[in-house]
């Protein structure tokens, strides 16, 4: 690690990484990104807007985060309307810093909006110190997904939804070591009804783009591929987390492509905390995709020319095109 | 299209179609089928009895359809008992016109019957102008599936159930263009508990035959294959809609056959609005089945003789035998 | 059958069976096992503790079984605490008779414990002749799974959970012929939330071992493999019942191994009532596993040496090591 050629910026070149994105809380002042930009990396290392902690009323830090949001945005967040304005303002700051997307790690895919009056009342009540019920927490989280979709139509940030993981499954591990220690287990995830309010309102809006990820592969052929085939705004993200593996990647193509098509998928968008694993992961995905395309050629379902063109698009063009500059 | 060899009846010969079925509302007077019979096509183009619009109390046309049913059957439908009699009478007219089957496109597979008194009360109340609650709509639809099964035991029509599609997912498309415009998305479908009332009552009745279709392939190995293996009245239909594709067809065999057996499946029963696609679709299904059978031969799980016999049966004998003349 | 070489004990040698286990109700006096031990087969034919009939308050025999439990254990079971003591005592008798495991065939995987006071009250009320509601039946069954996990930590019996089968689907068959006549149909099974109370309390306890079986293969990659990969106490059992077939076994490896690893699975543990089928079943499983391992070698994902070592472990070492002597 002392060797300069293993420093993170050197590896950007060595790994041939054109663009990499961090995920940053909505309350981030994006100071690190400002420094990167000053160093000439502003087009290469981009932030991603992640407002989850503000969307879940039961997070222990929720009130502190709401206060932090006011501070970083300079907008009063003591009302629900101010809260939305502050989020809008931070999204604009992210866009200004080069962000292409937002990211939403919700338990459920529900996007049902609340009545504005109910959202205002709930927001004020919880900010005032009351405890939100489980139902209220879920309703507000769903409402926030809907609001984020609405804002994506305004500012052009691509929306990414990663639902269906029950976090901190083991309370002793969580109490001792904190979150993200491996005790996160997927649950069955419903998309067809859950996404309907959002897609009914924004799904055919040419300004909207949403990329759906899942760790419940049973939804590929039943829900996600039909949704992606139908709504022009929807793309399917690459196999994620537990499914980001040779068999998982192969099944993704087998289950999703016949209905969704290759071109309603995002191509391989890596999602890892292990920086040094990036080249190997892309190499694996390309091999699995090449294997799948080769089978289609052997079975006379694609011509060789079509397969080669598709391989290049899945590897390079589609990921790039899936996340346009706002 | 001006060329006589491309007229629909000419294509019947060119495509080598022995039998084709339309789906017709329960209220149809079957006039087109009478004309076909007069023209000598009465054995070749058959009607199928589809009562869905009468089974869903919330369809905007429900009361008009009930009135139409009275008109076409000549039976008073102002009471629930008259309604059932009129349905029975139309089924007899369909049988007379050559029908082999009924078809039911319900959201849920639920077949729980209502108490007769409750069904009478609900029917009269809604016919009188009241609006049915969501629960009542679902309960009556389930009740009607049970009633249709009962009538199938009486008149010998094969029952086909196609559950699990949420129709008109996008309200703007539906308001502008109407139904069946591509915005139909599958939902997870439960069969084991849902079909129990019907199968408990009619499932071992030698007069009963039901063919189950799904767009939720997770139910193949878990629910549908065990049910088809157990109940002599049940057959599994061919892969349907989004699953009517090379990978989908192959998975159907891999997931269902080990438990259900080939001979508890219907063979390839095509379901398309694209008349000209029929030969290609049958060709594809035969190729996929042949590929699956070839693998079983290579793995010494079937002999070549058995595979060839099975291939012929899946292609021709099983579909024909699955829909006996009532 | 008259030929002595076809007698059950002769077949133990001919089939090269090192260890076989019966499942025995908690109320068994284990007399047959005492006789086997006296005949020198005490290390080879082992009992397994199966308390299901005592865990389901709605079984017609529940009160009789509770009385039988008192008789065989010599412990008063008229109170809930005595009931638990009697179960503990029978488990000790099973351990003494060579048992390695308990077996639990619940409808749901739920392991939520009741408050002790509520469990006492419910137990006394039902024993006194009241009828348990469906909710109470389910709550007590879940509570008993939790209690059995607690006792496994104390006495070292490996816990086996086989959930998700709706028994006696057809009431006429059940009334005429009784249970276990083929009319048992799987239902969708949730594990992540259901197992959480048990795993949260005992999942990282080094004294605890639980082996999970399913007939709902949709849970392999979504829930079971992540759980087995995370909790050191958990192993995945071999494909069970409808999934105990060539395609089912292959899919088990494809869906589960990338996340769970081979060494968090139990290896092939056969579960059959057909004694004479045992050699063929093991042979099949070995062939399917060998085929899967061969593919990994061909794809350069395992070396040949690793594959051979894994094959031996899956066949012999893992099943043996999965069920240690308490």
Residue A119, C-beta contacts closer than 8 angstroms, at least 6 positions apart: A80, A140, A143
Over residues A270-299, mean pLDDT:
95
Q: How many CB atoms lie within 10 A of CB C75?
A: 17
**B117 CA to chain A: closest CA distance, Å?**
33
Chain A hits for C293, Cβ within 8 Å: none
- The pLDDT, as a whole number, for residue B311 is 97
Cα C237 off chain centre by = 9
Angstrom distance (rounded) from CA B221 to CA C246: 13
Per-residue pLDDT tens for B23-57?
A: 999 999 999 999 999 999 999 999 999 999 999 99
Whether C259 and A245 lie within 8 Å, measured CB to CB? yes
Chain B hits for A227, Cβ within 8 Å: 185
Q: Indicate the SS3 state at residue B145.
A: helix
Token pair, residue B254, equals 């891999």
Task: Supply the ipTM of this predicted assembly.
Answer: 0.95
Whether B226 and C242 lie within 8 Å, measured CB to CB? yes
Per-residue pLDDT tens for C178-231?
A: 888 889 999 999 999 999 999 999 999 999 999 999 999 999 999 999 999 999
Chain A hits for B170, Cβ within 8 Å: 199-200, 203-204, 230-231
Beta pairing, strands B234-236 & C20-21: unpaired
**C198 CA to chain A: closest CA distance, Å?**
10
Q: Which chains touch C (3 or more CB pairs under 8 A)?
A: A, B
- The pLDDT, as a whole number, for residue C235 is 98
- In this model, does residue B270 exceed pLDDT 90? no
Angstrom distance (rounded) from CA C82 to CA C194: 27
Residues in chain B: 326
Per-residue pLDDT tens for B292-319?
A: 999 999 999 999 999 999 999 999 999 9
Chain B and chain C share a number of CB contacts under 8 A equal to: 62
Look up tokens 């293969």; give the residue: C217
Per-residue pLDDT tens for A54-88?
A: 999 999 999 999 999 999 999 999 999 999 999 99
- The pLDDT, as a whole number, for residue C284 is 96
A235: enclosing H helix or E strand: strand A234-236
Chain B CA closest to residue A251: B247
A62: enclosing H helix or E strand: helix A62-73
- In this model, does residue B179 exceed pLDDT 90? no
- Candidates C196, C198, C258; CA nearest to C222 is C258
Q: What are phi and psi of C260, to 5 degrees?
A: -80, -25
Over residues A114-127, mean pLDDT:
98
Q: What are phi and psi of A127, to 5 degrees?
A: -65, -30
Q: How many CB atoms lie within 10 A of CB B20?
A: 15
The pLDDT mean for chain B works out to 96
- Candidates C255, C247, C296; CA nearest to A247 is C255
Q: How many CB atoms lie within 10 A of CB B300?
A: 7
List Cβ<8 Å contacts ≥24 apart for A174-183. A182/C230, A183/C230
Residues in chain A: 326
Residue B180, C-beta contacts closer than 8 angstroms, at least 6 positions apart: B167
Interface test with B, best of A194, A226, A296 (most B CBs within 10 A): A226
Q: Which chains touch B (3 or more CB pairs under 8 A)?
A: A, C
The beta strands (E) that lie in C78-196 are given as 101-104, 158-161, 165-166, 185-186
Chain B hits for C284, Cβ within 8 Å: none
**A259 CA to chain B: closest CA distance, Å?**
6
Which residues does A contribute to its contact with B (CB < 8 Å)?
A: 190, 192-193, 196, 199-200, 203-204, 218, 221-223, 225-227, 230-231, 254-255, 258-259, 299, 301
Say how many Å lie between the first and final Cα of chain B, rounded.
37
Per-residue pLDDT tens for B117-159?
A: 999 999 999 999 999 999 999 999 999 999 999 999 999 999 9
Chain C CA closest to residue B232: C183
**A322 CA to chain C: closest CA distance, Å?**
27
Which among A172, A185, A246 has the least Cβ separation from residue C226? A185
Chain C CA closest to residue A240: C222
Chain A hits for C259, Cβ within 8 Å: 242, 245
Chain C hits for B190, Cβ within 8 Å: 187-188
Which domains does chain C carry?
52-89+100-322 (3.20.20.140)
Chain B hits for C173, Cβ within 8 Å: 204
Over residues A16-30, mean pLDDT:
96
Whether C171 and B204 lie within 8 Å, measured CB to CB? no
Chain A hits for B187, Cβ within 8 Å: 190, 192-193, 222-223
Residue percentage of chain B with pLDDT more than 70: 100
Which among C204, C222, C299 has the least Cβ separation from residue A217? C222
**B12 CA to chain C: closest CA distance, Å?**
39
- The pLDDT, as a whole number, for residue B86 is 98
């Amino acid at each position: 690690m002392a060797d300069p050629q293993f420093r993170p910026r050197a590896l950007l070149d060595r790994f041939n990484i054109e663009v990499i994105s961090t995920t940053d809380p909505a309350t981030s002042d994006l100071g690190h990104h400002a420094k990167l930009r000053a160093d000439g990396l502003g087009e290469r290392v981009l932030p991603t807007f992640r407002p989850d902690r503000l969307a879940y009323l039961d997070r222990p830090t929720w009130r502190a985060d709401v206060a932090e949001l006011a501070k970083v945005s300079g907008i009063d967040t003591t009302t629900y309307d101010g809260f939305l304005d502050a989020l809008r303002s931070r999204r604009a700051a992210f866009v200004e810093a080069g962000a292409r997307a937002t990211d939403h790690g919700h338990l459920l895919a529900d996007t049902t909006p609340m009545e504005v009056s109910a959202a205002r009342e709930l927001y004020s009540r919880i900010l005032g110190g009351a405890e939100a019920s489980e139902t209220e927490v879920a309703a507000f989280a769903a409402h926030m997904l809907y609001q984020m979709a609405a804002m994506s139509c305004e500012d052009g940030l691509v929306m990414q939804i990663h639902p269906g993981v029950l976090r901190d499954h083991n309370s002793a591990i969580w109490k001792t070591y904190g979150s993200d220690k491996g005790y996160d287990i997927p649950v069955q995830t419903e998309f067809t009804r859950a996404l309907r309010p959002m897609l009914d309102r924004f799904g055919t809006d040419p300004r909207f783009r949403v990329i759906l990820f899942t760790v419940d592969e049973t939804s590929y052929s039943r829900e996600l591929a039909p949704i992606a085939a139908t709504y022009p705004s929807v793309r399917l993200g690459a196999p994620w987390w537990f499914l980001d593996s040779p068999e998982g990647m192969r099944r993704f193509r087998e289950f999703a492509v016949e209905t969704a098509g290759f071109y309603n998928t995002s191509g391989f968008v890596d999602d890892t905390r292990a920086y040094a694993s990036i080249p190997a992961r892309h190499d694996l995905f390309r091999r699995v995709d090449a294997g799948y395309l080769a089978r289609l050629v052997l079975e006379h379902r694609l011509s060789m020319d079509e397969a080669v063109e598709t391989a290049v698009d899945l590897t390079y063009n589609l990921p790039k095109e899936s996340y346009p500059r706002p």
